A and B are shown apart, each in its own frame.
Chain A
Amino acid sequence: MDFFRPVSLAEALELKAAHPECTPIAGGTDLMVELNFDKKRPETIIDLTACSELQEWSRDNGTVRVGAGVPYSRIIAELATDLPGLAIASRTVGSPQIRNRGTLGGNLGTASPAGDGIPPLVAVGASVELASTSGTRSMPVTEFITGVKENALRGEELITAINVPGSRGPQQFSKIGTRNAMVIAVATFSVALDLEARSVGTALGSCSPRPLRASDAEAFIADEIDWDGRTPLPESAAARFGELVADAARPIDDVRGTAAYRKHALKIMAKRTLTWTWEEART
């Protein structure tokens, strides 16, 4: 096996162009598990941890550009105000050790339906920045992830950053696991209020092959919310929102939970998290 450790993004992209089959590694929290279980035997690995360009984040005109190599622990510590939904989701990832190593770029590279970092990106319409020696392109996260553990990354490309719209209202994230920490999601739900656009963004995780938005629920609740008067949300509206979210899911039965439970859990999570965000917005 060949192992490369480029010290700059430019060098990394050169290597990727020369070895399009090679597997990138950043935190290694997914890849090392696959290697240990002998599920993958990559011929070539390219270690991105020395590319400092990938470890940075910046603000630009209301959008936060998060380097693909920024670990979850830094997202929690440094971006909780700009990207509250993503920060809450990052807190649910693994253990302290995993959050110190694991990165958002890796979450997108793996493209697991259970990726905890993905729904908060989908709920706010974030986009992925992909680079190669011939240039950079950008696409919405929803388009980037094409199936279960499949994405639109080309052989010569690396994920360099995620552009996330800064919060324009309260955001929440909720995750079901059968343990109170360090657990793969059975189901997740993200919600983001946009108080300026008067819209509600949602995303479901672990409930479909690809991350989903619950568009009917979003449209319904945007109409129900009293944006001007900021009156409390009627419980019936929150409950209906939950049902519409559950309707959008396409869950399966697996070792972690049943499809019926996943739908049920989404209904409850959606209702609760929406209520928390609106209460925060009102007060």
Chain B
Amino acid sequence: MSAPTKTIEVTRVRGGVGENAARPDGIPKVTGEFAYSSDLWAEGMLWGATVRSPHPRARIVSIDIAKALALPGVWAVLTHDDVPGNKTYGLEIPDQPVLAWDQTRYQGEPVVLIAADHPETATRAADLVDIFYEELDPITDPEVAMDPGTDVLHPEAKNPHNLIRHVRIRSGDPDASADVVVSGEYTIGMQDQAFLGPESGLAVPDGEGGVDLYVATQWLHVDLDQLAGALGLTEDRVRITLAGVGGAFGAREDLSMQIHCCMLALHTNRPVKMMYSREESFFGHVHRHPARMYYEHGATRDGDLVYVKARIILDGGAYASSSTAVISNATCFAVGPYEVPNATLDGYVVYTDNPPCGAMRGFGSVQACFGHESQMDKLADALGMDPLELRIRNAMTTGSKLPTGQIVQGPAPVKELLESVRDMPHPDPTPSGPLDLTLLPGGVSNTTHGEGVRRGVGYGVGFKNIAYSEGFDDYSTARVKLWSAGGEPIVEVHTAAAEVGQGVTTIQMQIARTELGVEQVVVLPADTQVRSAGSTSASRQTWMTGGAVRKACEAIRVRVLTDALVGLDGDPGDLSLEGGKVISSSLGVVADLADAIGDAAYEETYEYHHKKTFPLDPETGQGDAHVAFAFSAHRATCDVDTELGLVKVVELATAQDVGKAINPQAVEGQIEGGTAQGLGLAVMEEIQVKDGKVMNPSFTDYLIPTILDMPPMQIDVMELGDPDSEYGVKGVGEPPTISSTPAILAALRNASEKPLTHIPVRPDHFLWSGERPGELGP
């Protein structure tokens, strides 16, 4: 290589780390051109349908498929007999039948599959399947389920009495006493992830006994593992490619139609598409665990926390899903981001005949945070202390010890986050100008012109773990290629990281641009032709897959620079890649990167692992179980029509430490979206289950916030940098969902002076004379 002969202005590539790089899927989504998994189509494809149990708990006496099979246009009717491999699957415990055989344990459990040449034919064939059930009394109360006298739903389970897992944490003195003691019982309804793109995908048989599946999911390789097992195929004969995902929020961690669709495709040797309807979707995925929580907090008269006792019961529903990890989080974070010297914490998650529950944004911390933050407000009240002051006084910091004995090592800016939301300007008081119904509780429904309206302000702070815990090695793999074409360097990034709308595709592009100084970065579709990226869950993808991409880029950079150095004086440390040039700190631009690459192609694969974690001791709950922690705080301002119990959330202010904002706009999007989901849980979102049956499986009656419910936000993004991650990133997606809900509840209590111990709050809760359903007040 020759020495530089000309001086070239080097401009940094656009769209690198820290910039608001445009998402490649942004414009197609807004214009309606984005292909979601429900838009998939293949020549000659069949349509799959699922016959589901209408009963929460029943014995299957007989299944007669003859009439369905005889319907013209029907290609296949499959039962449990047709499952080629493992008859059950599951994320942590393989307890869920691919198709039920002897009994069903929740309403909507799949029993029979249909493939037909038209979706309507498939639906009609489903009606012709004759299943004779013997109905049994469903077990629907998790505390009753744990009674020794109650029937056991899973006799093969490791634990007795329908217990999926008990997490027991003991720290300090179990008999500690305190000057001031407050106790409370809190309950949480079943929230749904309410993604807009229902479960859907396309399975295409390869003609040699293998299958390609295109599907909207969160973790391709954990799907692959369960799918290959159920199909009785080796993993190389099952290939999964991520299709366009219309939201996930945890609901796509478990399998839904994956095995079913592949079974039908392999059986008929035709491509098969499955797409749940909105109603079916409510039965097709797990939900957030409903909770019942008993808390007792003890503090000194000065407001120092002395002890916390908590007993948390989560309803796991019919199958285990990720319940064992959810209850771990709920229990580990039960006291909140506070220093608590003595803690006695018991978390139970239990099998019932209710809909299965599993992962949802916030994952156990959401439930716990409603409990501990409600208690902190109650304690502040008992102490006659400002609730913010009480929180700040007890705030965890770097070096604090969790009840599990783990020392918090990264930034833990609990005090700083609370001070930030405290000091933000407050919204204007209730408007007194011309009547604008959209600003009032009840909105355009015209229920008040100001009568009965009172304003309240409340605070909440929460935290949770980033990435998987308790010894799980959820690594991520990135394969990066650099070559040049037409005089331009090109980078190709291949990972299996599921883009579910959060922006991990853009993150990968930004990191590659910055690390290799190349603007043109292509991210290949996520599939199983590259090793696992781990799940798009637990706020981990920017950290894990972002980390893998950076490390793979670094390895390429070292090779490129080493090659570029041939014939030059200097050492590789002197060179860098920027703006498509190879730059020497002493010589300036030494080459166009494209020239330096020449005909070569550089490829590196990197497997990124987070630091090792350890299990919790089963007796004491002690152990360094978590990788890192993310924190956020919210201030809510709410107007309540105290006579009607209607609510207007006026403003939400939040502060969150994201470590480093790779894409600030995406960070704000996550914070606003996560906060909206927390608002939903606070005031409207609840799957109502009665005797094991879902009463509101539609967006007519399962309400999620509209633009008139979600207020403007003030957002303070802190970038304190985690020492263990690349660029200092932390996860962003979950914390806003955790601390927004209790802040809104605190504001509603502040306005109404009602205890409000259940979420979501419904209008009549403001009118109860006591804490529980009963007479309405005046």
**A residues whose Cβ falls under 8 Å from a Cβ of B:** 33, 36-38, 88, 91-92, 95, 172-184, 186, 255-258, 260-261, 264-265, 268-269, 272, 276
Residues B447 and A257 in contact, CB atoms below 8 Å apart: no
B241 to chain A, nearest CB (A): 29
User: Is B648 an interface position by the 8 A CB rule?
Assistant: yes
A174-B446 contact in complex given A181-B708, A255-B701, C-beta closer than 8 Å: yes
Residues A173 and B446 in contact, CB atoms below 8 Å apart: yes
List, in ascending order, chain B residues with CB within 8 A of A176's CB.
Answer: 442, 445, 447, 644, 646, 763
A181-B447 contact in complex given A37-B698, A255-B701, A257-B763, C-beta closer than 8 Å: no
Give complex CA distance A257, B695 in Å.
Answer: 12
A116 to chain B, nearest CB (A): 9
B 688-721 binary contact with A (CB < 8 Å = 1; else 0): 1000000110101101011011000000000000
A273 to chain B, nearest CB (A): 8
A-B contact pairs, 7 of them (CB 8 A): A175-B447, A178-B763, A181-B444, A183-B703, A261-B764, A261-B767, A272-B447
Residues B709 and A272 in contact, CB atoms below 8 Å apart: no
List, in ascending order, chain A residues with CB within 8 A of B762's CB.
Answer: 178, 257
Give complex CA distance A257, B703 in Å.
Answer: 13
Sorted from nearest, which 5 A-B pairs have the closest CB atoms? A180-B443, A261-B764, A175-B445, A181-B708, A255-B695
A181-B776 contact in complex given A92-B445, A176-B644, A257-B763, C-beta closer than 8 Å: no
Give complex CA distance A177, B701 in Å.
Answer: 11
Residues B706 and A182 in contact, CB atoms below 8 Å apart: yes
Residues A272 and B449 in contact, CB atoms below 8 Å apart: yes
Number of chain B residues close to chain A: CB under 8 A: 39
A179-B763 contact in complex given A37-B698, A272-B448, C-beta closer than 8 Å: no
A34 to chain B, nearest CB (A): 11
A70 to chain B, nearest CB (A): 20
Give complex CA distance A260, B774 in Å.
Answer: 10
Closest to B683 in A: A178
Given A183-B445, A260-B764, 4 more A-B residue pairs with CB atoms under 8 Å apart are A38-B123, A172-B446, A181-B706, A265-B644
Give complex CA distance A182, B767 in Å.
Answer: 24
Residues B446 and A175 in contact, CB atoms below 8 Å apart: yes
User: Is B414 an interface position by the 8 A CB rule?
Assistant: no
List, in ascending order, chain B residues with CB within 8 A of A36's CB.
Answer: 277-278
- Contact of A268 (CB < 8 Å), options: B446, B644, B705, B708: B644
User: Is B684 an interface position by the 8 A CB rule?
Assistant: yes
User: Is B102 an interface position by the 8 A CB rule?
Assistant: no
B 739-778 binary contact with A (CB < 8 Å = 1; else 0): 0000000000000000000000011100100000000100
Within 8 A of A (CB), among B164-215: none
Give complex CA distance A176, B643 in Å.
Answer: 12
User: Is B569 an interface position by the 8 A CB rule?
Assistant: no
A173 to chain B, nearest CB (A): 6
Give complex CA distance A255, B698 in Å.
Answer: 12
A33-B700 contact in complex given A91-B444, A272-B449, C-beta closer than 8 Å: yes
Question: Interface on chain B toward A: helix, strand, loop, or mixed SS?
Answer: loop
Residues B447 and A269 in contact, CB atoms below 8 Å apart: yes
A180-B708 contact in complex given A92-B444, A172-B446, C-beta closer than 8 Å: yes
List, in ascending order, chain B residues with CB within 8 A of A276's CB.
Answer: 449
User: In the complex, which of the residues B442, B451, B706, B709 has the most CB atoms of chain A within 10 Å of its own CB atom?
Assistant: B442
B705 to chain A, nearest CB (A): 7
B 9-27 binary contact with A (CB < 8 Å = 1; else 0): 0000000000000000000
Residues B763 and A181 in contact, CB atoms below 8 Å apart: no
List, in ascending order, chain A residues with CB within 8 A of B644's CB.
Answer: 176, 265, 268-269
Give complex CA distance A37, B762 in Å.
Answer: 26
- Contact of A265 (CB < 8 Å), options: B451, B683, B706, B763: B763
Give complex CA distance A269, B278 in Å.
Answer: 34
Give complex CA distance A260, B767 in Å.
Answer: 10
Closest to A273 in B: B446
List, in ascending order, chain B residues with CB within 8 A of A38's CB.
Answer: 123, 277
Give complex CA distance A224, B534 in Å.
Answer: 72
User: In the complex, which of the residues B446, B644, B696, B767 has the most CB atoms of chain A within 10 Å of its own CB atom?
Assistant: B446
B639 to chain A, nearest CB (A): 11
User: Is B279 an interface position by the 8 A CB rule?
Assistant: yes
B716 to chain A, nearest CB (A): 27
Residues A179 and B706 in contact, CB atoms below 8 Å apart: yes
Give complex CA distance A183, B441 in Å.
Answer: 14
Closest to B124 in A: A41
A272-B451 contact in complex given A178-B684, A179-B706, A265-B644, C-beta closer than 8 Å: yes
User: In the complex, which of the residues A36, A181, A268, A269 has the most CB atoms of chain B within 10 Å of its own CB atom?
Assistant: A181
A180-B445 contact in complex given A37-B279, A261-B776, C-beta closer than 8 Å: yes
User: In the complex, which of the residues B444, B445, B776 has the most CB atoms of chain A within 10 Å of its own CB atom?
Assistant: B445
Give complex CA distance A258, B648 in Å.
Answer: 21
List, in ascending order, chain B residues with CB within 8 A of A91's CB.
Answer: 444, 446
List, in ascending order, chain A residues with CB within 8 A of B445's CB.
Answer: 92, 174-177, 180-181, 183
Give complex CA distance A276, B448 in Å.
Answer: 10
Give complex CA distance A172, B437 in Å.
Answer: 14
